Amino acid sequence: MVERNLFAGFGGQGVLLMGQLLAQAGMMEGKNTTWVPSYGPEMRGGTANCSVTLSDEEIDSPLVTVPTALVAMNRPSLEKFEKIVAPGGSIFVNSSIVDIKVQRTDVKAYYVPCNEIAAQLGNDKVSNMIMLGAYLGQSKCVEIETILEALLEKLGEKKAKLIPLNREALLKGAECVE
């Protein structure tokens, strides 16, 4: 098993966190993982993306140049990275704000209205978790519960009350790709 993922979006959309949680959860499930960030010129508000690799084997290049999955949280990310996705790979599009469709026919496209679902859940901030849920629902590379464990470690016990909301977001996201 090897998953080479590229998560991309605007700074502030929680793109880097999404990748970190996946890398952390992968590690907790005994896999080799790498997480490599790439920032735009500005730390906030610019484009942000990260490469996350999960593998049962030792990971060679930590840079994802031919992703098996692309998560595009905004339109520039889809436009920029659609062409490099591996044939047979997956593209997850945040259809709430991306108003174009995937052009390629040799990849699987999933449209997830992250912001709308987040609004339904009453918290705009979980749109990244909805997308992560969708990615997990399709790739099944780690358990949703492990992601929540990773999140709890990141948040600390004081913010444990946020876990149910995030669980709901992950599950809603996963439902989108079923």
Binding span for another protein by CB under 8 A among 22-30, 110-118, 125-133, 162-170 = 22-30
CA angle 61, 145, 139 (to 5 degrees): 45
Q: Does residue number 62 form part of the binding site for another protein (CB under 8 A)?
A: yes
Cα–Cα distance between 94 and 56 in angstroms, integer? 29
User: Which residue do the tokens 């993922």 mark?
Assistant: 5
The answer to the question of residue 23 lying near another protein (CB under 8 A) is yes
Record the tokens describing residue 142, joined without a space: 């780690």
Among 66, 143, 145, 159, binds another protein (CB under 8 A): 66
Interface with another protein (CB under 8 A), residue from 17, 27, 152, 162: 27
CB-wise, 32 or 123, nearer to another protein? 32
Looking at 5, 13, 34, 138, which residue binds another protein (CB under 8 A)?
Answer: 34
Query: Taking the CB of residue 159, how many other CB atoms lie within 10 A of it?
Result: 11
Report the candidate in 32, 162, 90, 8 with the shortest Cα–Cα distance to residue 170. Answer: 162
Residues contacting another protein: total by CB under 8 A: 17
Beta bridge partners of 94: 112
- List the one residue from 7, 10, 35, 81 that touches another protein (CB under 8 A): 35
CB of 49 to another protein, least distance (A): 13
In the bound state with another protein, the residue whose beta carbon lies nearer, of 83 and 161, is: 83
Residue span 83-122 as binding mask against another protein, x where in contact by CB under 8 A, dash where not: ----------------------------------------
Q: Which of 42, 63, 79, 104 binds another protein (CB under 8 A)?
A: 63
Two tokens at 145? 């519960």
From the CB of residue 171, how many other CB atoms can be counted at a distance below 10 Å?
A: 15
All residues at 6 or more sequence positions from 149 whose CB lies less than 8 Å from its CB, including other chains: 25, 28
Our measurement of the distance from residue 161's CA atom to the centroid of its chain's CA atoms, rounded to an integer in Å, reads: 22
| Residue 55 near another protein by CB under 8 A | no
Within 29-162, residue ranges assigned H as helices are 75-81, 114-120, 127-139, 144-155
The residues that touch another protein, with contacts defined as CB under 8 A, are 20, 23-24, 27, 32-37, 59-63, 65-66
